[in-house]
Amino acid sequence: MPPPADIVKVAIEWPGAFPKLMEIDQKKPLSAIIKEVCEGWSLGNHENFALQIADATNFYITEKNRNDIKNGSILRLTTSPYQTAVQLHERIQSSSMDAKLEALKDLANASRDITFAQEFINLDGISLLTQMVESGTERYQKLQKIMKPCFGDLLSFTLTAFVELMDHGIVSWDTFSVAFIKKIASYVNKSAMDTAVLQRSLAILESMVLNSQDLYHKVAQEITIGQLIPHLQGTDQDIQTYTIAVINALFLKAPEEKRQCDEHIVDILNCPLTEMAHILAQKQLRSIILSNVIRSPTPINDEMAHQLYVLQVLTFNLLEDRMMTKMDPQDQAQRDIIFELRRIAFDVECEPNSGSIEKRKSMYTRDYKKLGFINHVNPAVDFTQIPPGMLALDNMLYFARHHQDAYIRIVLENSSREDKHECPFGRSSIELTKMLCEILKVGELPSENCHDFHPMFFTHDRSFEEFFCICIQLLNKTWKEMRATSEDFNKVMQVVREQIMRALTLKPNSLDQFKSRLQNLSYTEILKIRQSERMNQEDFQSRPILELREKIQPEIMELIKQQRLNRLCEGTCFRKISSRRRQDKFWYCRLSPNHKVLHYGDLEESPQGEVPHDSLQDKLPVADIKAVITGKDCPHMKEKGALKQNKEVLELAFSVLYESDEYLNFIAPDKHEYCVWTDGLNALLGKEMTSDYTKSDMDTLLSMEMKLRLLDLENIQIPEAPPPIPKEPSNYDFVYDCN
């Protein structure tokens, strides 16, 4: 007979004694269990003791997490979190350097546990650590030269403990003094600093900026771009990642007026990080990131890829202001830009006194028509649409000035064609700019989980403008290949969008490589790709075919359901996301082969294959599941729902409701896994599978089945069994020897 579900068999350790095997009754209060354990070793004052998980985490067992204890777990009897906090609070103030170092090392390890962290913070431990950083380390400055490794470790463990304690979100970041910020900034600004200290200092600055608008202003005044550049030039990718994360955090929290800056700032390296636009656009930082990070021999890990993606998004978001600015038709300075486009294209000077007003108007109208504007009389009206607003005009002027030959060729080529076959440069530029802004998501905040950066955008100071110049030439080429007329404008734009998206998918390393990829994606090639895809997705609409589809559909849906359930049986590794920054903490969940139980449990690292059931001790019977909740309705998304930057996390979040108000919360690694799990869970509950993935699978499988059933097989005998394998030949003399 199996043991009751509330009884857990464990081993309990105590230093200097043999471990004990015990059965823990989960219905008993935890204090009663600890008392029983203490009495077994004749230990008094049981309230001064607690139980810990005897692994690398050393987490305390509490009433909240006691259900995490699994059969076969090894526990450790140890001092209570309060007693440990009191002891460490005293030990880190020791006058002995060695004792202080050992105490800080223990504190750094213990601070990862939230139960201990709460007790230590209640003793005003955070203030003690900040005082040690502000002034306590001054006493050891004189010893630094002769005891440099010890000093580095002392500071490293102090900052590590501080980071771990703050990561629990118990204390507000707004409580820290300017002196503390200056001290942390000084560790970042020093050229020779211990790697661990530098990494922790950068992490603290990032958290300060992200969690407090007031601290943003203070941090931004302490750090300059010149002080951060040496950290990017090193070979430690973790330091590089944290450095870019600090730049991203400062830029993300910068007020709108600070994101744009004066082009005439001369001293870039000493420019405060509040002047974000100049920093991200200036050549030195971009080229350093390109040569030392993107083109480094070290492969880029996921966290670095995410930070580069964030930097890319924030850089392109500088264009949002121009994208959302309408042109003022009465503004002479803006009208002069249009005059400049006309002058470059047709090599004419604007002479206000030459000829009559009517003659000049007629001449302007003719030229503006050749330039492809919709409004030939007043082209300024074309730029009143937002998006793309003035950004389109900026792109056109950049193309005309920096790629003058190509610009003149396109304009003159189209002005010499028949009216119905000319590609309108003005209209094309406006629509193309709008399309590129949509593709690059200009104006949207970066996603938390994305690491989709494009190396080519880090190869040029004016990457968006160069991107436009390549694409406007592509548009003109595609227009000619399609032999398009003005009525085909939208069709051409659709083809160009497809060409750009397919080329970007290949992740070219440079703009030249992107250009060559586009050369291979001609209109003819796009037609071949479309035809191939259409053959795989062909849909017939006649009534008999539709009736056959309806008949087959339930069979296909059952097939999809079985696939989803089989996938749940294989299981998935889910990532735990911290509130401060992405952490590599994992847990695994899988469905039992009989589809009756969900097995789940924590993992120390991401698994290479399937995780066996016996290593996942937590269970949730499928019969107990009441509902599947998704998106912002999930309990673990309640606080995050209002934040725009958490939109993608919301789209990947789902929860399983069981019993009355208990939840098992998930954040899927990607959209595919989200669809698989929500479909599978809904199938288990007998509900409809409604994900996009199910619709896609239904279309694909239904199309294949329809084609098989509609094959012309009349008078063709289909064998019941596969044909026999022929006998081996008597000799192999017919084989040709290539050598």
Q: Is the pLDDT of residue 84 over 70?
A: yes
642 band by pLDDT with thresholds 50, 70 and 90: very low
pLDDT per residue over 503-527, tens digit each? 999 899 999 999 999 999 999 999 9
252 band by pLDDT with thresholds 50, 70 and 90: confident
CA 373 from chain center: how many Å? 39
Q: Is the pLDDT of residue 639 over 50?
A: yes
The answer to whether the CB of 406 falls within 8 A of the CB of 399 is yes
464 band by pLDDT with thresholds 50, 70 and 90: very high
Q: What is the reported pLDDT for 143?
A: 47
- Please state, as a whole number, how many other Cβ atoms lie within 10 Å of the Cβ of residue 508: 19
Tokens matching residue 581: 């920054």
Mean of the per-residue pLDDT values for the chain? 84
Q: What is the reported pLDDT for 263?
A: 42
pLDDT per residue over 438-455, tens digit each? 999 999 988 888 888 999
Which of residues 694 and 419 earns the better pLDDT score? 694
Give SS3 for 79.
strand
pLDDT per residue over 661-681, tens digit each? 788 889 888 889 999 999 999
Give SS3 for 280.
helix
Give SS3 for 666.
strand
Q: CA 583, 588, 590: angle at the middle one, nearest 5?
A: 155
Q: What is the reported pLDDT for 619?
A: 87
* Lookup result for tokens 């590599």: 584
Tokens matching residue 615: 């290593």
Query: Among 79-93, 270-284, 333-347, which range has the highest average pLDDT?
Result: 79-93
Which of residues 707 and 296 earns the better pLDDT score? 296
Q: What is the reported pLDDT for 729?
A: 85
Which residues are CB-contacts of 663 (< 8 A; sequence separation ≥ 6)?
A: 629, 634, 635, 636, 655, 656, 657
Q: What is the reported pLDDT for 739?
A: 52
Average pLDDT of span 538-542: 57
pLDDT > 90: what percent of the chain?
Answer: 42
Strand 74-79 and strand 7-13: the pairing is parallel
Which of residues 678 and 356 earns the better pLDDT score? 678
- Within the chain, what is the greatest distance between any pair of CA atoms? 112
Q: Is the pLDDT of residue 712 over 80?
A: no
pLDDT per residue over 146-193, tens digit each? 444 556 688 889 999 999 999 988 988 888 888 899 899 989 888 777
737 band by pLDDT with thresholds 50, 70 and 90: low
pLDDT per residue over 564-621, tens digit each? 999 999 999 888 765 555 555 788 899 999 999 999 888 877 777 778 877 787 889 9
Average pLDDT of span 557-567: 93
